Amino acid sequence: MGFKKFNLKPSLQEGIDAMQYTEPTPVQEQALPIILENKDLMGFAQTGTGKTAAFLIPILQKLDGKTKPGIKCLILVPTRELAQQIEVNLTGLGYFTSVSSQAVYGGNQGDLFSEQKNSITSGVDIIIATPGRFLQHLNLGYVKLDQVEMLVLDEADRMLDMGFVGDIMKISELLPKSKQTLFFSATMDGKIKQLASKLLKEPNEINLAIAKPAEGINQMAFMVYDEFKIPLLEHYLTNQEVKNMIVFASRKSQVDEVTRRLDRKGFSVVSMHSDRTQDERNEAIRLFKAGKYTILVATDIVSRGIDIDDLSHVVNYDIPNEAADYVHRIGRTARAGKNGAGVSFINVDDQVKWSYIEKLIEREIDKYLTPEEIGGSPTYNPEANKSYGGKKKYNNRRKNNNHRGKKGGSNNRNKGNHSNNRNRSKPNNKKSE
Ligand code: AMP
Q: Are residues 233 and 339 in the same domain?
A: yes
Nearest CA owner, ligand 1 atom 14: 50
Cα 16 to averaged position of ligand 1 atoms, centre (Å): 11
Let me know: does 187 contact 180? Beta carbons within 8 Å. Answer: no
Full domain range(s) for residue 194: 2-208
Q: Are residues 222 and 159 in the same domain?
A: no
3-state helix, strand, coil in the chain (%, to 5): 40, 15, 45
> What letters, b where the CB count within 10 A reaches 16 and e where it falls short, cover 254-289?
bbebbbeebeeeebebbbbbeebeeeebeebbeebb
In single-letter form, the type of residue at position 326 comes to: Y
Q: Which atom of ligand 1 is nearest to the CA of 92?
A: 12
Q: Are residues 132 and 54 in the same domain?
A: yes
Q: From CA 72, how far away is CA 10, in angstroms rounded?
A: 21
Q: Does the CB atom of residue 85 touch ligand 1 within 6 A?
A: no
Q: Are residues 181 and 256 in the same domain?
A: no
Please report whether residue 432 resides in a domain: no
Q: Does the CB atom of residue 48 touch ligand 1 within 6 A?
A: yes
Q: Does the CB atom of residue 17 touch ligand 1 within 6 A?
A: no
Q: Does the CB atom of residue 322 touch ligand 1 within 6 A?
A: no
Please report whether residue 196 resides in a domain: yes
Nearest CA owner, ligand 1 atom 13: 50
Q: Does the CB atom of residue 46 touch ligand 1 within 6 A?
A: no
Q: Are residues 198 and 92 in the same domain?
A: yes
Q: Does the CB atom of residue 321 touch ligand 1 within 6 A?
A: no
Cα 418 to averaged position of ligand 1 atoms, centre (Å): 23
Q: From CA 227, how far away is CA 124, in angstroms rounded?
A: 48
Let me know: does 296 contact 242? Beta carbons within 8 Å. Answer: no
Q: Which atom of ligand 1 is nearest to the CA of 49?
A: 2
Q: Are residues 295 and 370 in the same domain?
A: yes
Q: Final residue of a domain: which of 161, 177, 208?
A: 208
Q: Are residues 329 and 369 in the same domain?
A: yes
Q: Final residue of a domain: which of 176, 208, 240?
A: 208
Supply the pTM of this predicted model: 0.64
Q: Are residues 73 and 126 in the same domain?
A: yes
Let me know: does 128 contact 99? Beta carbons within 8 Å. Answer: no
Pocket test for ligand 1, best of 5, 27, 52 (most atoms within 8 A of CB): 52
Q: Are residues 107 and 204 in the same domain?
A: yes
Q: Are residues 240 and 332 in the same domain?
A: yes
* Cα Rg of the chain, angstroms: 24
Let me know: does 185 contact 156? Beta carbons within 8 Å. Answer: yes
DSSP letter, residue 8: -
Burial class of residue 253, CB neighbours in 10 A (0-12, 13-18, 19+)? exposed
For the chain, the maximum distance between any two Cα atoms, rounded to a whole number of angstroms, is 69
Number of domains in the chain: 2
Q: Are residues 168 and 248 in the same domain?
A: no
Q: From CA 379, how far away is CA 263, in angstroms rounded?
A: 31
Cα 429 to averaged position of ligand 1 atoms, centre (Å): 9
* CATH number of the domain within which 11 lies: 3.40.50.300
Let me know: does 9 contact 98? Beta carbons within 8 Å. Answer: no
Nearest CA owner, ligand 1 atom 22: 21
* Residue-by-residue pLDDT tens, the chain, 433 positions: 789 999 999 999 999 999 999 999 889 999 999 999 999 999 988 766 788 999 999 999 999 999 999 999 999 999 888 899 899 999 999 999 999 999 999 877 778 899 999 999 999 999 999 999 999 999 999 999 999 999 999 999 889 988 999 999 999 999 999 999 999 998 777 888 899 999 999 999 998 766 677 778 899 999 999 999 999 999 999 999 999 999 999 888 999 999 999 999 999 999 987 777 778 887 888 899 899 999 999 987 655 556 676 789 999 999 998 887 888 788 788 765 677 899 999 999 999 999 989 988 888 999 999 999 998 899 898 876 554 333 333 233 333 333 333 444 333 323 333 333 323 333 333 333 3
Q: Does the CB atom of residue 51 touch ligand 1 within 6 A?
A: yes
Please report whether residue 428 resides in a domain: no
Q: Are residues 168 and 63 in the same domain?
A: yes
DSSP assignment of 404-430, as one string?
TTPBP-S--------STTTTPPPP---
Q: Final residue of a domain: which of 149, 178, 208?
A: 208
Q: Which atom of ligand 1 is nearest to the CA of 3?
A: 19
